[in-house]
């Protein structure tokens, strides 16, 4: 078993390798003068079970090309099996035709990863579960719900908590955590005028006097979460916090989160925070390194991965 780390999230790759007590495979990843990507695997991988860790986060296109070229290098190096470990799967928000002459980019990226040489994909909280069907190779989609549920149980012990879905599409995700914690569920009914812009319409559920926790898979601009938190507070919530798997946090998202009523925003380290400004005091990061490491160990040992969902 060998682990290759690309450049999207070196700290996470190092944490996974440390958990597995394995060194990272030596690889040279550099740029030519015109910014073309050059990759050279500097260890023998013939017949090996190789895991490539790379999120396709910002800069998404550069990180995607790094992943594809690394997969090709390993395939041509005669690796026995290559697993693409993609903690954050970019382009997942374009998973269907939303209008005439629009692409299904998630399917295109799935084809690219497969053709580049991946035999298997390991990812966390896909934006849409049906993306697993876009691949013609096995896909293991891990969930952040068990990690979040444990953290909520520790931090909010003795408090009257309520899980909240920030939109109708995320109800199943919020319900999974509410079921684990045996607590109530509320839903934010919103209308999205265009990508990145949303208007809260109504709060479905009695949130008055409750500690409300928003559950989502991606926070990008932060506008939806901030609007949802404001709506909850207007409806009498005692506090509003959020747990989100992938902290894209683009543009002025950190400023927006800091200025919002959100008591604490908890994200995972599936994406390395690259914003130039200092992280706000109400932002926490949970690591998914042990979860990824255990899944990789089980894939390599040919044992069950689905039991990690329990």
Q: Is 167 annotated as a binding residue?
A: yes
Q: Is 184 annotated as a binding residue?
A: no
Taking alpha carbons only, the member of 288, 267, 299, 287 closest to residue 84 is 299
Is 190 known to be catalytic?
yes
Q: Is 221 annotated as a binding residue?
A: yes
Label the pairing between strands 139-142 and 283-286: unpaired
Q: Is 94 annotated as a binding residue?
A: yes
Distance CA 152, CA 270 (A): 19
What residues contact residue 127 under an 8 Å CB cut-off, 6+ apart? 89, 92, 93, 95, 217, 218
Q: Is 35 annotated as a binding residue?
A: yes
Distance CA 297, CA 49 (A): 11
Distance CA 52, CA 45 (A): 12
Q: Is 296 annotated as a binding residue?
A: no
Q: Is 54 annotated as a binding residue?
A: no
Distance CA 253, CA 159 (A): 29
Taking alpha carbons only, the member of 308, 296, 306 closest to residue 84 is 296
Q: Is 151 annotated as a binding residue?
A: no
| 189 bridge partner residues | 202
Q: Is 252 annotated as a binding residue?
A: no
Of the residues 2, 107, 153, 190, only one is catalytic, namely 190
Q: Is 192 annotated as a binding residue?
A: yes
Q: Is 233 annotated as a binding residue?
A: no
Q: Which two three-digit tokens encode residue 277?
A: 């400004």
Render the burial of 70-87: b for 16+ CB within 10 Å, e for the rest: bbbbbbebebebbbbbbb
Q: Is 155 annotated as a binding residue?
A: no
Q: Which two three-digit tokens encode residue 107?
A: 């399917």
Q: Strands, DSSP E only, in the chain?
A: 2-5, 27-31, 37-41, 49-53, 81-86, 120-124, 139-142, 161-165, 184-194, 197-204, 211-219, 239-247, 262-268, 283-286
Q: Is 34 annotated as a binding residue?
A: yes
**Active-site amino acid positions:** 190
Feature table: binding site for ATP? 34-36, 93-94
Return binding residues: 34-36, 93-94, 127, 167, 192, 216, 220-224
Which residues sit in the known binding site for Mg(2+)? 127, 167
């Amino acid at each position: 078993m060998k682990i290759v780390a690309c450049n999207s999230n070196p700290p996470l790759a190092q944490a996974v390798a440390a958990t597995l007590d394995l060194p990272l495979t030596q690889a040279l990843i550099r740029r030519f003068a015109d910014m073309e990507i050059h990759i050279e695997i500097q260890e023998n991988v013939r017949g090996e079970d190789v895991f490539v860790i790379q999120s396709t986060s910002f800069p998404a296109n550069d990180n995607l090309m790094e992943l594809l070229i690394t997969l090709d290098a390993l395939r041509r190096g005669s690796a026995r099996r290559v697993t693409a470990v993609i903690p954050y799967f970019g382009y997942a928000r374009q998973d269907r035709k939303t209008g005439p002459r629009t692409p299904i980019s998630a399917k295109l990226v799935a084809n690219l990863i497969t053709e580049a040489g991946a035999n298997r994909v390991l990812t966390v909280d896909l934006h849409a579960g049906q993306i697993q069907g876009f691949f013609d190779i096995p896909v293991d989609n891990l969930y952040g719900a068990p990690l979040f549920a444990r953290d909520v149980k520790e931090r909010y012990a003795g408090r009257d908590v309520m899980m909240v879905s920030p939109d109708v599409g995320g109800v199943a995700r919020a319900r999974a955590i509410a079921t684990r914690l045996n607590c109530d569920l509320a839903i934010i009914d919103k209308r999205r005028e265009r990508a990145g812009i949303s208007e809260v319409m109504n709060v479905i559920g009695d949130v008055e006097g409750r500690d409300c926790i928003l559950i989502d898979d991606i926070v990008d601009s932060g506008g939806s979460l901030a609007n949802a938190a404001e709506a909850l507070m207007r409806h009498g919530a005692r506090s509003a916090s959020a747990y989100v798997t992938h902290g894209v946090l683009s543009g002025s998202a950190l400023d927006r989160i800091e200025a919002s009523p959100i008591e604490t925003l908890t994200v995972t380290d599936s994406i390395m925070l690259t914003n130039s400004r200092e992280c706000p005091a109400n932002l926490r990061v949970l690591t998914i390194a042990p979860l990824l490491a255990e899944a990789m160990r089980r894939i390599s040992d040919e044992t069950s991965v689905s039991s990690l969902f329990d």
